[in-house]
Amino acid sequence: MSIVTEQIAREHCKITDSSEDIAVYLSAAEQIVQDYIGCNVYATQEMLETAMTDGVAGISPMVTTAAINAAILLVFGDLYRDRESTVVGRVSVSELPLAWRRILSTYRIGRGV
């Protein structure tokens, strides 16, 4: 089960085509966030407890927060929007600060580079 539901991800990116498969982008976004903060994140306390009982919770697991969900949605939006390796028709390009990293900075374990 995902940390953020597909329905919420679809609403976040205003995806109206219900046949469009977004699972890989959502899964990747969740993995990127968990890798960045250095721990497994679970949608509910019950899911966390099950993972702990099964011995797969990892180091310092936690239940998601609104901030973590927002970061997942930001990463998902980037992955979904920029699916192609080329961009046509843009007049100017500038990189925006990675807000999801700022959001997650307080959750990081082993702050590293």
pLDDT given for residue 99 in this prediction: 85
The H or E element containing residue 62 is: strand 62-63
Q: Which domain holds residue 84?
A: 6-107
For the chain, the distance separating the N- and C-terminal CA atoms, rounded to the nearest angstrom, is: 30
- In-domain check, residue 46: yes
- In-domain check, residue 36: yes
pLDDT given for residue 82 in this prediction: 81
CATH number at residue 47: 1.10.3230
Average pLDDT, the chain: 89
Instruction: Give percent of the chain with pLDDT exceeding 90.
Output: 71
Query: What letter represents residue 40's amino acid?
Result: N
- In-domain check, residue 45: yes
What tens digit of pLDDT does each residue of 47-77 get?
999 999 999 999 999 999 999 999 999 999 9
- Asked if 14 and 57 count as a contact pair (C-beta separation under 8 A), the reply is no
The alpha carbon dihedral of 37, 48, 12, 19 has a sign of: positive
